[in-house]
């Protein structure tokens, strides 16, 4: 059997662990720049706020209604996620970490009371981490997803819902709008709805060949999974990333190249660290800039340039220097840049790294050692990112807005919570 654990309103729940007084109150977590609402508590949803709402449009109403807003604190969320996953890993046979707030599980079919087991597992995660979760159990991943929606929606399930026979399956599919099915996005939802297919049950009763023809192999897989035919497997080890991007929107339009170069250094720093984390090297890099697409009065400009490096690299200074040079070729002083970033592609694993014919191997080894040392210093919990490129200046801090940030409760010693006990 497959299980799908989904953390409820994950970012909001992370904030509430350290501010329990916010439990039961409307809370939202904002995207970069305090731009959009990306996570909402049930109370905030009940007030009509939606994921994706621009904060500046809802702020007045949110303030009036006592909504507490947080800037995204992704370091905290990443650490809380790791805690949740480690609790799960200790309990189940196999686990696929599917996203920051979700994991698929292989459950031992020998367990006779899966329903009770699921409830105990949900409760254990909550007890050990403070994060409330919903668990769905079924014979396929897609059905487990549906089961988890029910577990989340109806408190009666006590955190765990199981679909283990055809009667339950058909009932659940009939109650599930087609757009809520994993694999059916906005476009397909509209197309199917136009054809009168509005529930998952109706979709599952279409002719298989027709689904294959109109929705390709991915649609057919969803169809099979809904019909109880498992064809999406558990991926226990995450494959290496094939591309990586680091990009940001800025708080204000940027006209000067110095600030953009500073941002490039910050992006290169992030990508260098991520490359080294998965022991990969990048062979190609592209840099992009864009004006504010929402500002209709402004002349629009967006451009990108890409470049093949002389040899695969994961060296932050090399990435930064390259990006800054590339930036110059697309930089136009007349345009206010609202968003910029770097994408690296053609990533190769360490064992396939081929230096150029003229490479200075000693220098390469030296740079590798330097980066390893840098990573180990910056990994220290007391003070993350102490060593960085001078060209980075204050990095993205000055260029982005984060007015409602919470603390790094779990990864920075100075931010640890203190509790005052009164008699």
Partner DNA sequence: TCTGGGGTCCTAGGACCC
Task: Name the residues that contact DNA, by CB under 7 A.
Answer: 31-33, 35-36, 38, 52, 54, 56, 98-102, 145, 181-189, 216-218, 239, 241-249, 251-253, 270, 274, 292, 294-295, 338-339, 341, 343
Q: Which is nearer to DNA, 255 or 364 (CB)?
A: 255
CB of 362 to DNA, least distance (A): 31
Q: Tokens 């990443």 appear where?
A: 78
Q: How many CB atoms lie within 10 A of CB 246?
A: 22
Q: Which is nearer to DNA, 227 or 247 (CB)?
A: 247
Task: Give the residue from 266, 193, 241 showing the smallest Cα distance to 345.
Answer: 241
Q: Are 404 and 12 in contact (CB under 8 A)?
A: no
Helix and strand numbers (H, E) in the chain are 13, 12
Q: Which is nearer to DNA, 179 or 228 (CB)?
A: 179
Q: Which is nearer to DNA, 162 or 337 (CB)?
A: 337
CB of 248 to DNA, least distance (A): 4
- Collect all residues with Cβ–Cβ distance below 8 Å to 266 and sequence separation of at least 6: 246, 392, 395, 396
Q: Which is nearer to DNA, 276 or 338 (CB)?
A: 338
CB of 404 to DNA, least distance (A): 14
Sequence-ordered strand ranges (E) for 262-315: 280-290, 302-313
Report H helices in 92-132. 114-129
For 312: left if phi > 0, alpha if psi spans -120 to 50, otherwise beta; the answer is: beta
Q: Which is nearer to DNA, 23 or 38 (CB)?
A: 38
CB of 95 to DNA, least distance (A): 16
Classify residue 390 by its DSSP letter.
G
Q: Which is nearer to DNA, 117 or 313 (CB)?
A: 313
- Separation of alpha carbons 289 and 260, rounded Å: 9
CB of 116 to DNA, least distance (A): 26
CB of 84 to DNA, least distance (A): 13
The DSSP element (H or E) to which 88 belongs, if any, is helix 74-91
CB of 53 to DNA, least distance (A): 8
Q: Identify the bridge partners of residue 94 per DSSP, sorted by sequence position.
A: 106
- Separation of alpha carbons 368 and 136, rounded Å: 44
Q: Which is nearer to DNA, 126 or 288 (CB)?
A: 288
Q: Are 343 and 285 in contact (CB under 8 A)?
A: yes
Q: Which is nearer to DNA, 261 or 269 (CB)?
A: 269
- Collect all residues with Cβ–Cβ distance below 8 Å to 296 and sequence separation of at least 6: none
Dihedral Cα 134, 137, 138, 143, nearest 10 deg: 10
- Separation of alpha carbons 175 and 147, rounded Å: 11
CB of 278 to DNA, least distance (A): 10
CB of 421 to DNA, least distance (A): 38
- Separation of alpha carbons 409 and 347, rounded Å: 34
Residue 45 tokens read as 């949803």
């Amino acid at each position: 059997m497959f299980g799908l654990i989904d953390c409820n309103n994950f970012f909001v729940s992370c904030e509430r662990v350290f501010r329990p007084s916010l439990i039961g109150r409307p809370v939202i977590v904002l995207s970069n720049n305090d731009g959009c609402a990306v996570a909402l508590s049930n109370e905030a949803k009940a007030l009509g706020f939606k994921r994706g709402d621009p904060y500046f449009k809802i702020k007045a109403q949110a303030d009036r209604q006592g909504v507490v807003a947080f800037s995204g604190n992704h370091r905290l969320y990443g650490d809380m996620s790791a805690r949740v996953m480690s609790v799960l890993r200790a309990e189940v046979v196999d686990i696929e970490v599917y996203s920051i707030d979700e994991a698929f599980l292989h459950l031992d079919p020998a367990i006779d009371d899966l329903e009770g087991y699921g409830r105990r597992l949900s409760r254990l995660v909550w007890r050990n981490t403070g994060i409330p979760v919903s668990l769905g159990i079924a014979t396929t991943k897609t059905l487990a997803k549906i089961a988890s929606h029910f577990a989340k929606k109806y408190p009666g399930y006590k955190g765990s819902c199981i679909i283990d026979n055809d009667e339950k399956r058909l009932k659940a599919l009939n109650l599930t709008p087609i757009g809520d099915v994993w694999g059916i996005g906005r476009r397909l939802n509209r197309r199917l709805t136009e054809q009168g297919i509005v529930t998952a049950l109706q979709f599952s009763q279409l002719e298989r060949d027709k689904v294959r023809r109109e929705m390709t192999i991915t649609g057919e897989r969803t169809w099979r999974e809904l019909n109880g035919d498992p064809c999406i497997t558990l991926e226990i080890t995450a494959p290496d990333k094939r591309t990586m991007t680091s990009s940001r929107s800025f708080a204000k339009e940027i006209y000067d190249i110095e600030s953009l170069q500073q941002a490039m250094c910050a992006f290169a720093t992030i990508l260098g660290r991520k490359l080294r984390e998965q022991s990969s090297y990048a062979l190609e890099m592209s840099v992009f800039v864009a004006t504010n697409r929402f500002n209709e009065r402004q002349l629009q400009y967006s451009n990108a340039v890409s470049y093949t490096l002389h040899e695969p690299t994961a060296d932050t200074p090399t990435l930064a220097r390259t990006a800054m040079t590339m930036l110059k070729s697309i930089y136009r002083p007349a345009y206010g840049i609202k968003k910029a970033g770097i994408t690296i592609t053609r990533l190769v694993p360490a064992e396939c790294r081929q230096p150029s014919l003229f490479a200075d191997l000693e220098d390469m080894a030296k740079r590798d050692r330097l980066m390893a040392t840098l990573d180990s210093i910056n990994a220290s919990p007391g003070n993350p990112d102490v060593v960085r490129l001078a060209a980075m200046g204050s990095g993205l801090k000055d260029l982005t807005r984060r007015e409602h940030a919470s603390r790094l409760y779990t990864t920075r010693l100075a931010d640890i919570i203190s509790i005052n006990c009164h008699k």
